[in-house]
Chains A and B, each alone.
Chain A
Amino acid sequence: NAGVTQTPKFRILKIGQSMTLQCTQDMNHNYMYWYRQDPGMGLKLIYYSVGAGITDKGEVPNGYNVSRSTTEDFPLRLELAAPSQTSVYFCASSYSTGGGNQPQHFGDGTRLSIL
């Protein structure tokens, strides 16, 4: 049972480069999320999606883009990488019926350094 799978696990980028962080889930969850986790701080929501073809900004969307063409996949795109984007990125998914209280299931993260 794979759950939420993120690739790559580690990556080093140079300032100004671009990359895509991949996320796929096999639980048929309709909601998917991207977070960043910085030392000493709570998880910050970057973008989320309530279903295929629908995405919306979270708390810290600047410098990122997402797409959701299928239920399973939710890639996160970094354009023109900056040192401030050095972080650990987590993808999560949940099943929500509108009540909004279903727990989120997380992948193991992508550790990204921008040098």
Chain B
Amino acid sequence: EDQVTQSPEALRLQEGESSSLNCSYTVSGLRGLFWYRQDPGKGPEFLFTLYSAGEEKEKERLKATLTKKESFLHITAPKPEDSATYLCAVQTSNYQLIWGAGTKLIIKP
């Protein structure tokens, strides 16, 4: 069964304390892996797409990486405005999109 698991469920960091969020997947063929950010009361906002193992993408304090079984979202020196829920989703070989439950990130000033 296709499955996407995100860990941890919640993460509390001090401002400036770097860390990583994990998205592990077992799917029938990977066409792409997406990272989204979701603020309270809002819809998910697209961050990155990764297509193949070894690929990396960066945006400000965020860097996403991909291996054959998981993806990491690295957050370097986070600020309070980085607080949000981060979602990952995997597109399978039959174009189905499987979503993880998300990691709630809280950055304390």
Q: List the interface of chain A (C-beta within 8 A of B).
A: 4, 40-45, 90, 92, 100-101, 103-109
Contacts and interface: CB of A to CB of B under 8 A. Distances in A.
B53 interface: no
A106 B43 CA distance: 5
Interface of B: 4, 9, 31-32, 34, 41-46, 49, 51, 87, 89, 91, 95, 97-102
Contact of A108 (B43, B49, B100): B43
Dominant SS among interface residues on chain B: strand
A interface SS class:
loop
Nearest to A44: B99
A43 B9 CA distance: 15
A92 B43 CA distance: 9
A44 B101 CA distance: 10
11 contacts: A40-B101, A42-B87, A42-B99, A42-B100, A42-B102, A43-B44, A101-B31, A103-B34, A107-B43, A108-B42, A108-B43
Contacts of B102: 42
B42 A101 contact: no
Contacts of B51: 101
B91 A101 contact: yes
A8 B14 CA distance: 37
Given A42-B99, A42-B102, A101 B43 contact: no
